[in-house]
Amino acid sequence: MRSAWMAVMLLLGGAGAAHTDAAAEVKAGTGIEDREPTGVASAFKKGDTVFVWSNITDADGQTVEHVWKLDGKEVFKVSFEVKSKRWRVNSRRRNLAAGAYVVEATTDDGKKKLGEVAFKVE
């Protein structure tokens, strides 16, 4: 009886299932203070250092990536281990080239996008 119950729980997404409600609020800015983004904007100057900050929820125990894309092409990727129900991370790039950027917060296999931010460097 117990093994049948466990099989039903696994099929329904119970014990042992990965978090599927994981999400991320993602912002771009010029800095990080007290674990929060500062200078949040949608456009930056060529040569600026841009920080991308993510407030990740419900991904405890998973690995999340920031995938930086310039004009649709991946230019940088960094991974983070999420260690609690709410986890804040940031990545940064210096001296960015001009163009349209999108930074996606995704699961490490890239199958689920948790959030994204778009900005321009002029």
Question: What pLDDT, in 10s, does the model give residues 34-89?
Answer: 999 999 999 999 989 999 999 999 999 999 999 999 999 999 999 999 999 999 99
> Domain limits of the chain?
22-121
DSSP-derived 3-state class of residue 104: strand
Neighbours of 37 (CB within 10 A): 23
18-38 pLDDT per residue, tens:
446 999 999 999 999 999 999
Reported pTM: 0.82
Ramachandran bin of 16, using left for φ above 0, alpha for ψ from -120 to 50, beta for the remaining angles: left
The CATH homologous superfamily to which domain 22-121 belongs is Macroglobulin (MG2) domain (2.60.40.1930)
C-alpha–C-alpha distance, residues 76 and 92, integer Å = 10
> Do 93 and 77 contact (CB within 8 A), yes or no?
no
> How far apart are the C-alpha atoms of 99 and 5, rounded to whole Å?
54
Question: In this predicted model, what pLDDT tens digit does every residue of 84-105 receive, in sequence order?
Answer: 999 999 999 999 999 999 999 9
